[in-house]
Amino acid sequence: MSPISPTDPSPDPSPDPSPDPSPDPSPDPFTPPSADEARAERVYTSLFRIAERHAATDDQRRRQVHPYVLGPHEAIRLVSFLLSGAALPDDGEPDVDRADITAALSLVPLARGEMDELEVGLLDMARGRGMTWPEIAFGLGLQTPQAARQRYERLAGRTRTGTDTGTDTAAAATAAAAHE
């Protein structure tokens, strides 16, 4: 608002046309940061870092993929992308049907099992390299070191006994397809 002039005692009802010249870009120091926003930023930064350092070339990107057989997570992603329109089918490629969707859903336990095994292996290697449970908890987005250790113990028990992983089936299917 404009100051009151000596000749007009009423305040000017029009807003001040000049914007605040120095908006405060820093967050409120008394508001805790959003854990979800911080995690999303770390995920993006993590993907960028690994891609830049370990998947910068076509050969580097191809080394984790079986050259002749889709992995379970790749098949699930492909069906999901085709269904959502994120990927378009090639000319002559059949549309995704109910059987394709059922097939992709059937692969979810296999993909989850593979991810569990990868996580356990990564956690074992992190501990072997001297990372602490607080560091690991931060990386996993967990609140406490105890939660990280409990997660590790649950996954390790499940993957070492073969419960809920289906990875023996995946390994057999991949080996059979590679020999065809």
Q: How far apart are CA 141 and CA 42, in angstroms?
A: 9
Residue 116 resides in a domain:
yes
DSSP type of residue 30? T
Residue 10 resides in a domain:
no
Q: How confident is the model at residue 41 (pLDDT cuts 50, 70, 90)?
A: confident
Is the pLDDT confidence value at 10 over 90?
Answer: no
Amino acid 2: pLDDT: 44
Nearest to 151 by CA among 110, 120, 113: 120
Residue 125 resides in a domain:
yes
Composition of the chain by helix, strand, coil, percent to 5: 60, 0, 40
- For 95-129, the pLDDT digits (tens) are 899 999 999 999 999 999 999 999 999 999 999 99
DSSP type of residue 66? -
Give the number of domains in the chain.
1
Domain of residue 118: give its range: 55-163
Is the pLDDT confidence value at 78 over 60?
Answer: yes
